[in-house]
Structure 1
Amino acid sequence: MTASTAGSGRLDLDDHRLIRALQLSPREGFARLSTVLGVSEATVARRYRRLRRSGVLRVVGIVDPSVLGQSEWIVRVQCRPDGTPAVAEALALRDDVSWVSLNAAGSEVTCVVRSRSREDREHLLVELLPRVATVLSLKASVIMHVFTTVGRQDWTVLDQALTEAEARALRPADPVRPPSSADLSLQPHDQAILLGLAADGRASHADLATAAGISPARTARRVRALIETGVVQLDVELSRAALGFTTLADLWLQVAPDAVRAVGRELSLMPEVAFAAAISGVHNVHAAVNCRDLQDLFGFVTDRIGALRGVQSLEVSPVLRQLKQFNTLIKGDRLSGFP
């Protein structure tokens, strides 16, 4: 494995191989990763820590609100340009808000609201935001169905970094069990485990056990249950710019009702698409896409999206600046705040 260039902002093939390995098995130990990748354990550990420290990647545990009977909303906040950055920054600091970006040449904030209750959501959308002087209007759409999945299916642009044999060695051998009502009943100590995984999806069972106040063995069983039932999903968050994707955009599609599922499935298979979902409103499908440059975005929209049957209209909203993805703040073009 050659010397990493992560610190200088450039990623090499070995970085891509490690990133892809973590996508396939986010909590895999360094010893196992070293065996599959054919390098020393110390080299893998050192490279991982360098990538994380430089803001290239972060493994996180993301709670699926739908599994817990909660909902997510995509909100578009139209602002006066002079007040948009302040609104975006304030939203990014909220625990119940994710995927915050400045769009439309700086006059719109797009975010995802994951409020724990209807009261919390209404407090933000009905009371707080409308009272901000620089907010002109807002549109909120509930996410009805997510087509993309976190973890192993993300960033398929790196699929070729590993051989099929290497990828097969890292894919989980056991199929995910269907969730039962008993599995989905959170136990008192689960909240501490979920918070620990949100901070670091690779946190050891010992560290999680300390935070939860239970034994490491019991913690291991709960982590496995929470992952297998889909309560928490492990994801490798990445700096898109570090991978060469410098042009981001939100796509708002109006799709014929009988074609929504087919269009969503097609979008989920495209490596440029980081997120795709069916939503309420006139634009009934939303997608967040990552392209290398504007010409790449133009070709993607006209050739790929334009060829999808059932797409009746499309609005492209380029991202001027991203401030947050999931629960991770973005500084410049890197993930922020992780030693």
Structure 2
Amino acid sequence: MDNRYSRQLLYSNIGVQGQRLLGEKTVVIVGLGALGSLSSEILARAGVGKLILIDRDYVELTNLQRQTLYNEEDAELKKPKAVAAYDKLSKINSEIDIEVHVAHCDTGLIESVAKNADLLLDGTDNFDTRMLINDAAFKFGIPWIYAACVEGSYSSAAFVPEETPCFRCLTPVLPSTTLTCDTAGVISPAVHMAVSNQVTTAIKILTEQFSAPYLMHIGNVWDMDYMKFNIGNMTEAACPTCRTKEFPELNRTESNAMKFCGRDMIQVIDGRLTESVVTKTLKQADIDYKKTPYFIEFNYGSTRIVSFSNGRMLMHNVENLNKARTIVNQLFG
């Protein structure tokens, strides 16, 4: 068989019918770090019809230890992860559609992509965005799959509207930790275990073979520990997402400044700060800057700032939201 999916077609749980279903489906992946970059590659190779990729960050050298889709050139050029992912995935499988968003995943963006999707995948590293994904999925009746990893541990679970509890229902029993990859580290095998569980479940859902029991998978690759437990009966009676359907995260007013999880970096969003405004201000202030095809980069004191054309800025070496706002006011009034 010379079909690119021949080995997948031979697998009895997929076959011709399963491959046809994969080719008809659209998957949204939020976050293209360690988890999202790997899941996007596996799904592209599997022949999923369309991938919609969302990420707000760019490739750095420290990513390469675990984010296997990227290389040193991407880090040197500081390519936005969504752009770098598109470049790689379009060469891996030119037959599929790929749509990318170099953007912060807010209510407007997640709703616009979710309503036309068949599945949402979590590739994030923070609780707030997962809660946003959760609300969007249950509002539009679309399954989504959570995944996480830190140190040598990993976890994953699927949430299906009208069949399972939602992520909010499970938050009291999820592993409670303030550790992140940026504070405690992570080894690549833990990433691969999390994504293996996540993408296998995704393929089951996309080929219409996912059914009870609905399980949460938790393990530690270093200690070779693994467990799973049934989440099917854990729905909270008054849950505002899957019971009363208030979807509070979609209605929340988002701050224009937010801290990246576990990192000394603040994101500021201000629609006034277009590329022309930023370059004009920097020239007037005699501040050197570097312009790439994707953003403008400059230093303001000890702060390294990356400014995107849509008014979104990433401020490195800043821990305090008020300091970030002060810097914006000092530079741009």
What's the TM-score bracket when you normalise by the shorter of the two chains? under 0.3
Of the two structures, which has the highest relative contact order with CA contacts closer than 8 Å and spacing of 6 or more?
A: 1
TM-score by length of 2: 0.23
TM-score by length of 1: 0.23
